[in-house]
């Protein structure tokens, strides 16, 4: 996919599509080559790459830096960049400028969490020609207010609120919406009701597309295994094994071999 029209077409054609997070150039290049339809420079970069305990530590500078790296790695990819914590709460003008920086760094679109209190920001971004992806359900930037990483939309009232927010996002002109950690039946209903693309993470298999955090897919963190994610390889084990072999080779003077020494 290289634009928001492709999202709409995939939804019309009921063709499920796959997104992954990406934070660096070489991974972005490989994921694009694998056919991943869009890359998300998620604010999860603060945790995955920078080792912070939550996404509230992502800054505008961090998001710009990683968006530019991903763009350099995957010049043809559709790239969505997260608006970091509080960047949509500093007034419409600051939010539009922040999103503009992300687009100048190479993003095709921006994603922002929640809706209450920044509807005007969504409308202004869309009105400024910036494609917007919403993010409802578990919104990690509000994790302290939500009381942890819990499933959202479980009560009838909460489900109703989420459906209303999804409708509002569509009315405001968002082209897509991430639904994180909500019951599968609710995600299915929102996907059917809405004409914008619904991308699930921990939301069952009936959404228009799926997104995963790339380090979860690669199994890079041995101690972190979210229930809704799937580990497609043991990246931690592979890195550990390769690094141990290298250490052994250096200590035994097996590396470098003569053929690895520049003449
Ligand atoms: O930052 C992120 O990685 C995300 C995904 C979990 C959707 O927002």
On whether both 39 and 69 belong to a single domain, the answer is yes
On whether both 250 and 225 belong to a single domain, the answer is no
For the Cβ of 115 lying below 6 angstroms from any atom of ligand 1, the answer is no
On whether both 166 and 258 belong to a single domain, the answer is no
Residue 143 confidence (pLDDT): 86
Q: Whose CA is nearest to atom 6 of ligand 1?
A: 213
Total residue count of the chain as it appears in this document: 263
> CB-based burial of residue 95 (10 Å sphere; 0-12 exposed, 13-18 middle, 19+ buried)?
buried
For the Cβ of 21 lying below 6 angstroms from any atom of ligand 1, the answer is yes
User: pLDDT band for position 226 (50/70/90)?
Assistant: confident
Whole-number Cα distances in Å, 3 to 109, 200, 201: 9, 19, 21
On whether both 223 and 242 belong to a single domain, the answer is no
On whether both 69 and 151 belong to a single domain, the answer is yes
Q: Whose CA is nearest to atom 2 of ligand 1?
A: 42
One-character DSSP codes across the chain:
--SHHHHHHHHHTT--EEEEE--SHHHHHHHHHTT-SEEEE-TTHHHHTT--SSGGG--HHHHHHHHHHHHHH-TTS-EEEEPPTTTTSS-HHHHHHHHHHHHHHT-SEEEEE--TT-HHHHHHHHHTT--EEEEEES-GGGHHHHTSS-----SHHHHHHHHHHHHHHHHHT-SEEEEES--HHHHHHHHHH-SSEEEEESS-S-SSEEEE-HHHHTT--TT---TT----S-HHHHHHHHHHHHHHHHHTT-SS-GGGS--
pLDDT, tens only, 173-221: 999 999 999 999 999 999 999 999 999 999 999 999 999 999 999 999 9
For the Cβ of 178 lying below 6 angstroms from any atom of ligand 1, the answer is yes
Which range, of 7-11, 24-28, 50-54, 145-149, averages the lowest pLDDT? 145-149
User: pLDDT band for position 77 (50/70/90)?
Assistant: very high
On whether both 213 and 249 belong to a single domain, the answer is no
pLDDT over 80 (residue 223): yes
On whether both 252 and 208 belong to a single domain, the answer is no
Average pLDDT of the chain is 96
Residue 1 confidence (pLDDT): 66
On whether both 137 and 51 belong to a single domain, the answer is yes
On whether both 250 and 203 belong to a single domain, the answer is no
User: pLDDT band for position 118 (50/70/90)?
Assistant: very high
| Pick from 17, 32, 112, 130: nearest CA to 72 | 32
User: pLDDT band for position 2 (50/70/90)?
Assistant: low
Find the domain containing 127 and state its range: 3-232
Q: How far is the CA of 110 from the centre of ligand 1 (A)?
A: 12
CB 19 within 8 A of CB 82: no
On whether both 122 and 8 belong to a single domain, the answer is yes
CATH classification at residue 92: 3.20.20.60
The mean pLDDT of 6-35, rounded to a whole number, is 97
> CB-based burial of residue 206 (10 Å sphere; 0-12 exposed, 13-18 middle, 19+ buried)?
middle
For the Cβ of 43 lying below 6 angstroms from any atom of ligand 1, the answer is yes
User: pLDDT band for position 146 (50/70/90)?
Assistant: confident
On whether both 163 and 227 belong to a single domain, the answer is yes
On whether both 62 and 190 belong to a single domain, the answer is yes
Domain count of the chain? Answer: 2
Q: How far is the CA of 214 from the centre of ligand 1 (A)?
A: 10
The mean pLDDT of 143-167, rounded to a whole number, is 92
Q: Which atom of ligand 1 is nearest to the CA of 213?
A: 3
Catalytic positions: 180
């Amino acid at each position: 996919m290289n634009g928001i029209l492709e999202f709409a077409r995939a939804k019309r054609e009921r063709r499920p599509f796959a997104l992954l997070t990406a934070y660096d150039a070489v991974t972005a290049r490989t994921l694009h080559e694998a056919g991943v339809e869009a890359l998300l420079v998620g604010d999860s970069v603060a945790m995955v790459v920078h080792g912070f305990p939550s996404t509230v530590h992502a800054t505008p500078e961090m998001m710009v830096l990683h968006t530019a790296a991903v763009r350099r790695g995957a010049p043809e990819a559709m790239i969505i960049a997260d608006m970091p914590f509080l960047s949509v709460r500093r007034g419409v003008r600051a939010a539009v400028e922040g999103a503009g920086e992300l687009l100048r760094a190479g993003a095709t679109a921006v994603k922002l969490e929640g809706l209450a209190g920044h509807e005007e920001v969504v409308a202004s971004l869309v009105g400024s020609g910036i494609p917007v992806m919403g993010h409802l359900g578990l919104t990690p930037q509000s994790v302290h207010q939500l009381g942890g990483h819990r499933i959202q939309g479980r009560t009838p009232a909460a489900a109703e609120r989420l459906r209303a927010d999804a409708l509002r996002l569509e009315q405001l002109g968002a082209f897509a919406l991430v639904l994180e950690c909500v019951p599968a039946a609710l995600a299915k209903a929102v996907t059917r009701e809405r004409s914008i693309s619904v991308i699930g993470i921990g939301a069952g298999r009936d959404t228009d597309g799926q997104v995963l955090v790339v380090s979860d897919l690669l199994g890079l963190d041995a101690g972190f295994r979210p229930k809704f994610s799937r580990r497609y390889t043991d990246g931690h084990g592979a890195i550990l094994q390769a690094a141990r072999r290298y250490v052994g080779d250096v200590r035994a003077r097996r590396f470098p071999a003569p053929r690895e020494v520049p003449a």
